[in-house]
Amino acid sequence: MSELQEKLKGEKGIHTDFENEMTYGEYLSLDQILESQKLLSDHHDEMLFIIIHQVSELWMKLILHEMKSAIIAIKQNKMQPAFKMLSRVSKIQTQIIQAWDVLATMTPSEYLEFRHKLGKASGFQSYQYRQIEFALGYKTKHILKIYQKDLELTKTLEQALNSPSIYDVAIQALAREGLPINKDLLTRDFSITYSGDESVAAAWKQVYLNVDRYWNLYQLGEKLVDIEDWLQQWRFRHMKTVERIIGFKVGTGGSSGVNYLKKVLDHRFFPELWDLRTSL
C-alpha cells in the first residue's frame, strides 16, 4: 500500500453510507446534466461542440444572476455588494472567452461532418445572451420574433427589454449624488438602446476628476468598463473562432456569420465611460 493510500485509510470520518443521505451527484443533479448531450451524428467532435455551448450557457446563467442582483443593489445605493457581483461577472467572462480556445481545436473538415444536423439552430438564438445584452443596455426588439413559439420565454425577454439596464441605474446613481443629469433620461423608454447624452458625459468627467469625492461612482464606472472590455474580447474571440472554422459562410441561423459578428464589435454599451479617456 502506498504512503498516500495509508494516509487516506486513516481518514476515519469519511462518509460512505448514503442510504438516507443526499450525495454530491444528487445535489448537483448530475444525472440530468450528464445525460443532456444528445448527439445527432456519430462524429466524435459533436460532443465537444455541444458541451462547449452548454457550459457557456451555464456561465451566462450565472452572469445574469449576478447582473440582476447588481442592478437591484445599485438602485438601492448598496454599492459594495454590487461591486463584488460585477467583479465576479468579469471573472466569469474570462472563462467563457477561454472556451473558444477549446472549440477552436475543431477543424473546418470536422465541423462539416455534422453541421447539417443543426438545421437552423444557432448560437445566434441564445436567449440568455440576449438577456445579457438587454441588461447591459443593447436593446433589439425585433429579435424577439425568434422566440415567439415559447410564450413564457417571450414574456421573460419582453420584461428584460423594458427594464432599465445596468447603465440606466448607473446614470440614476449619478443623479442621486447631485450631478446634473438630463431628467428625461431618468424616465426614458428603457426598451430603446441608450445612445449617449452630454449631461452624462459631463457627470462622469466630474467623477473622474474628483475621485476622492465620488469614490463609489468612480469604482462603478471602472467595473462597467471591465465588463464591456471583457464582453468585446468575448465577441472578438467568437468572431475569430467562427472565421477559423466556417470562414465567411452564412450562419446556420441565417445571419451573415462573421460579417454580423464584426458589426456588433462596433457597438459601445457605455459610450461616455470610453469617451472620457480622451477628454480627460
Show binding-site residues for substrate: 49-53, 111, 115, 252
**259: which residues sit within 8 A by CB, 6+ positions away?**
248
**260: which residues sit within 8 A by CB, 6+ positions away?**
124, 251
127: amino acid identity, one letter:
Y
Q: Which residues does the annotation place in the binding site?
A: 49-53, 111, 115, 238, 252
Q: How far is CA 179 from the centre of its chain?
A: 30
Nearest to 33 by CA among 54, 59, 62: 54
Q: How far apart are the first and last CA of the chain?
A: 68
Q: Which residues does the annotation place in the binding site for heme?
A: 238
d(CA 100, CA 227): 18
Backbone dihedral region for residue 179 (phi beyond 0: left; psi -120 to 50: alpha; all else: beta): beta
